[in-house]
Amino acid sequence: MTTLTVYDPAMCCSTGICGTDIDQKLITLAADLDWLRAQGVAVQRFGLSREPAEFVANDQIRDLMQASGGDDLPAFVVDGKLVAKAHYPDRIEMAAWAGVAVDQEMPPSKRGGCCCGPAKAERKQGACC
């Protein structure tokens, strides 16, 4: 089983999805991580403000933190290998790391078009109905 570990920068809560001004990237990441779990990928997520010991315990993350002062977070580790830093990847990128095929279950927003399907999106010139 593939294990994906996410090292988040300091946030207000475990997902960063709280309050009134929520970053859409964090909402999308939470959904994509849930999707990976449903595909059989083991997902761990650590936050700097809640679990600093996890950052220190991983040599790659500790070195990354020392070199960047934390500016390179978030960081993503797959089966012990650092695969991305300083950005939130999309579902397609994370699926490729885990060896999971992305199929028709992917939301329309990730496939292009809109929630109403490609035909309606074309009529509205890319805007969702």
Q: pTM for this one?
A: 0.76
Is the CB of residue 15 less than 8 Å from the CB of residue 26? yes
Q: What is the pLDDT of residues 46-83, one digit of tens each?
A: 999 999 999 999 999 999 999 998 899 999 999 999 99
User: What's the pLDDT band for 12 if we cut at 50, 70, 90?
Assistant: confident
Query: Is the backbone of residue 65 left (phi > 0), alpha (psi -120 to 50) or beta?
Result: alpha
Report the pLDDT value the prediction gives residue 4, as an integer from 0 to 100. Answer: 97
Report the pLDDT value the prediction gives residue 110, as an integer from 0 to 100. Answer: 53
